[in-house]
Structure 1
Amino acid sequence: MPPPDTPGTSAVPCRVSIVIKALNEEKRIVAAVESALAAVRRVGGEVVLADSCSSDRTVALASAYPIRIVQLARADERCCGVGPQLGYQHSAGEFVYILDGDMEMLPGFLPEALAFMQAHPEVAGVGGQVVEMNTSSLEYVARVERGLGHMQAGQVDRLDMGGLYRRAAVEQAGYFSDRNLHSYEEFDLAMRLHARGWKLWRLALDSVRHHGHDAPPYQLLMRRWRSRYICGLGEVLRAAWGESHLGLVLTKVRELRLYVAVLGWWLVLVAVLGVPMPWTLRMLAFAGIAAAPVVLMAWRKRSARKAVFSVVSWCFNAAGLVRGLLTPQRPARAAIDSIEIRNTL
């Protein structure tokens, strides 16, 4: 395994590395690999599969193709941040694209993105438009309702859902993705890049098809609690503490203020229980304060069901924020222990 500051091992210059991060993606991995190979064929480069110890046929299916395959040495290190960094650690490209295992690269994006970055040397990363295939999923509906500005064309503050990055910029930022993060890994990279003066851009051009995963809303919340996905924001804050990008993290995450407000709401509810007043009045005050957010959201969303889910989701995320803040972290710059399963060189 090459050390993290020595990308790849090839003596031949590599233009683009597409890193596919995957965990149990046997249904989609063939389409992801074939689309990535077709994409690099047009611009020159390599495809690296970074597998997080899949227990299905993901690696076996991918092994039929001329790509590099690396895998985590320890399954207990699985998280959203470790896959991209593992792939980056084994890549050689001057530019690096991160592709999820349930995505497919679309033809035409990489040449346009490379041309844009060549013309704009101040830009560290370029994304495109994400074509969602599962438009009924909770994630998709919530994203549409929020109307996220960073998913629109133009200069953006982050590149969620993948992007093409300039290796020189990533090296300045210290590392590609923080191995400790269970979510918010693209946001963390973006803040470290912005703190060093780099810009990010999203083109008005389709870049990937995303199939995504879905589950019933409350089941999804429980899954994210168990997987620690919901702890990502707290982990980002902990990692940024004392660093140059802390101010950006505190001001750029709109939901952070919401989750802090939820924690304040909990404190008020606890305080009400200790107020010296008749028990009946105390319970009425508690019930009124507890119900207020649900009533407000029901009015805004015109749906009691959506309102209850929103408030429950806030509570899970607020608890995850605290959990992430309190979780010890490994050094983000340390090399990730891995096994090289297949090397095309």
Structure 2
Amino acid sequence: MVTGIGVVVIGRNEGQRLERCLASLAGRADKVVYVDSGSTDGSVARASALGVEVLALDMSIPFTAARARNEGFACLQKSLPAIRHVQFVDGDCEVDAGWLAKAQAFLDTHPQVAVVCGRRRERFPQHSIYNLLCDLEWDTPLGEAKACGGDALMRVDAFLSVSGYRPELIAGEEPELCVRLRAAGWKVWRLGAEMTLHDAAMTRFGQWWRRSLRAGYAYAEGAYLHGAPPERHWLRESRRAWFWGLGIPLLIVFASVWLGPWGLLLLLLYPLQMLRLARRGGRSARENGLQAVFLVLGKFPEMLGQVKYLLNRHAASKPVLIEYK
């Protein structure tokens, strides 16, 4: 067992995925807290049977993953006030047997690093192109990074110094936390070590669309919170979504009005952009091509996600979680 580490797992209706997650953590940390957000599939009983402390969220309060992680951490710290590191894990992920020891050893020898993450892989990339796209998305450069994902080991003192996650964020809470940590002088690091095996269970186009919509929402909110220099958080991603998802379509409409059918030639900008992105990829031709196609297509739901954020902000309405499964 790796000492000085507590684990917070969040989930809802993850079924066997949750069982795999909790089993992968058995005997590997000082304490594991499972935070359940209204499961109806027996997840609470499953977790309790495995000897894990269960925290059932009050679902009368709007749910966010950020809030779940914060409350799980508070529960963990109450039981283990001297805990040094906390591993956050999504309930659909299985933690690699050697990850916690490797991650903690890295933090122990790199005192300036607040967050360390590793390689998250998709369990069933062959089941759908959408699962494969997730696996490709998570294959990011190693070394110092700007952000982590939902699975990461963090220093407790660093996490507390920035007051944890913003509980109101419905998406993009991990990169936003990393922005504040880096502003406070901490570093985020990505190792080449295996970290988690994720089960996206994403087999339909509609699921991919909603996931991309959520990304667009996160881009808009992230840019609103931290878009000013020097951080300029997610400004580029937001502008690309507006350009490809709305700017080019409007240009095509106006060009068609002025030039007739010749204006439709501007539609060629999309396949040309796909070809450009595919050529600069470093994987197989199939993987490069698929990723390029969906990177371009994704600008449409990303743009709509930003519209959704702007409407919520100007109407002062409470954001509703955007889920894809």
TM-score category of the 2 structures, normalised to the smaller one: 0.7 to 0.9
Instruction: Report the AA paired with residue 232 of structure 1.
Output: A
- 1:108 to partner: Cα distance: 2.4
Q: What is the rounded CA distance, in whole Å, between the counterparts of 1:305 and 1:168 in structure 2?
A: 41
Alignment pair present for 1:317 and 2:317: no
AA partner of residue 67 (structure 1): V
For residue 330 of structure 1, report the CA deviation from its aligned partner: 9.6
- 264-273 or 155-164, which deviates more: 264-273
Do the aligned residues in 2 keep the contact of 1:180 with 1:235 (CA within 8 Å)?
no
What displacement does 1:27 show? 1.8
Map 1:1-345; keep pairs closer than 5 Å.
15-40=4-29, 45-74=30-59, 77-92=62-77, 93-136=83-126, 137-142=128-133, 151-175=140-164, 177-216=165-204, 218-224=205-211, 228=214, 230-240=216-226, 246-247=228-229, 250=232, 255-262=237-244, 263-269=246-252, 271-272=254-255, 277=258, 281-285=259-263, 287-289=264-266, 291-297=267-273, 299-300=275-276, 301=278, 310-328=295-313
* Partner residue, 2:322: none
Task: Tell me how far apart the structure 2 counterparts of residues 161 and 68 of structure 1 sit (CA, whole Å).
Answer: 20
After TM superposition, give the deviation of residue 123 of structure 1 in Å. Answer: 0.7
Change (3 A) 1:249 1:86: farther
Q: Tell me, in whole angstroms, the C-alpha distance in 2 between the residues paired with 1:97 and 1:138.
A: 29
Q: What displacement does 1:134 show?
A: 1.5
Deviations 1:205-239 (A, max 9, x none): 222222222122x222444478x565222222233
> Does the aligned pair in 1 maintain the 2:119–2:138 contact within 8 Å?
no
Q: TM-score, normalised by structure 2?
A: 0.78
The structure-2 alpha-carbon separation of the partners of 1:190 and 1:214, relative to structure 1 and needing over 3 Å to count, comes to same
Considering only CA atoms, is the larger Rg found in Structure 1 or Structure 2? 1
Go from structure 1 to structure 2 and tell me whether the alpha carbon gap of 1:221 and 1:143 turns closer, same or farther (over 3 Å shift).
closer
After the TM superposition, list the runs of 4 or more consecutive aligned residues in structure 1 that deviate by more than 6 angstroms: 302-308
3-state SS of paired residue (2:27):
helix
Q: Which amino acid aligns with 1:191?
A: V
Asked if structure 2 preserves the Cα contact closer than 8 Å seen for 1:250 and 1:256, the reply is: no
- Describe the SS at the equivalent of 2:125: coil
Identical aligned pairs, as a percentage? Answer: 26
**SS of residue matched to 1:38:** coil
Relative distance call for 1:305 and 1:140 in structure 2 (3 A) is: closer
TM-aligned CA distance change 1:172 to 1:179, over 3 Å:
same
Structure 1: runs of 5 or more not aligned: 1-13, 332-345
Q: Is the 8 A contact 2:99 2:195 kept in 1?
A: yes
Q: Distance in 1 between matches of 2:292 and 2:104?
A: 44
Query: Does the residue aligned with 1:128 lie in a helix, a strand or coil?
Result: strand
Structure 2: gaps spanning 5 or more residues: 78-82, 279-284, 319-325
Taking a change above 3 Å as real, the CA distance of residues 225 and 46 of structure 1, as seen in their structure-2 partners, is: same
Looking at structure 2, the residues matched to 112 and 299 of structure 1 have their Cα atoms a distance apart, in angstroms, of 39
Q: Relative to structure 1, is the Cα distance of residues 200 and 106 closer, same or farther in structure 2, using a 3 angstrom cutoff?
A: same
Larger relative contact order (CA 8 Å, sep ≥ 6): 1
Deviation at 1:32, TM superposition (A): 1.1
TM-score normalized with structure 1 length: 0.74
- Aligned to 2:49, the other structure's residue is in SS state coil
Deviation at 1:306, TM superposition (A): 7.7
